[in-house]
Amino acid sequence: MSHRWSRGSGIALARAIVKRTSLQEKTIVALVRFPMHLDKARIQQLLKYGVTGVFGSVLYFAVLLTLVEVCAVRPLVASALSFVCTVVTSYFINCFWTFNSTSASSRQFVKYSMVSVFGLLLTTLITYVGVDLMQAWYVYSQVVVVVVVPISNYLLNSKWVFSSAA
């Protein structure tokens, strides 16, 4: 007998998780409700966000390799410059293409940058916990990063940076 997943069962699960963890109920409920609101427009937005993310990754590596191999810039500096270049480019693509904004603002860009830095910190935290604390192979941590960070960044960008109330 199969169990059909419903919004009610998701909320009940979220409340059970909250009772057993220190996570805020609102956070868990938002994450559980998120997949329940996948209409055609949201799916298109997610696909655009994914394409922008892939483009950003390719851009990051292209700038990084160019700076290190062609311009002889130290890898640490080149990595930071590549990150900044990717954040700026991804902001404009997400702003006008993914989230269909009619204009860009410095306030919105600062918020987008904060989300990007949060993603970087979350990546570092997940890697530290996986590799240094749990002594796991670094690739396992990166698998978690590839799932968790894009979802958290998408949620923050769609609900905070590019929401109509932002």
The reply to whether 26 and 76 lie within a common domain is no
Contacts of 17 (CB under 8 A, 6+ apart): 23, 28
Query: What pLDDT sits at residue 78?
Result: 94
Taking the model in full, what pTM does it have?
A: 0.75
What does the pLDDT look like over 99-128, one tens digit per residue? 999 999 999 999 999 999 999 999 999 999
The reply to whether 105 and 33 lie within a common domain is no
In eight-state DSSP terms, residue 108 is: H
On whether residue 28 sits in a domain, the answer given is yes
Domain that includes residue 109, residue range: 40-161
On whether residue 83 sits in a domain, the answer given is yes
Q: What is the mean pLDDT of the chain?
A: 84
The reply to whether 96 and 124 lie within a common domain is yes
Task: Show the 3-state SS of 136-148.
Answer: CCHHHHHHHHHHH
Report the domain count for the chain.
Answer: 2
The reply to whether 62 and 100 lie within a common domain is yes
The reply to whether 78 and 146 lie within a common domain is yes
The reply to whether 97 and 62 lie within a common domain is yes
Q: Is the pLDDT of residue 159 over 70?
A: yes
What does the pLDDT look like over 72-93, one tens digit per residue? 999 999 999 999 999 999 999 9
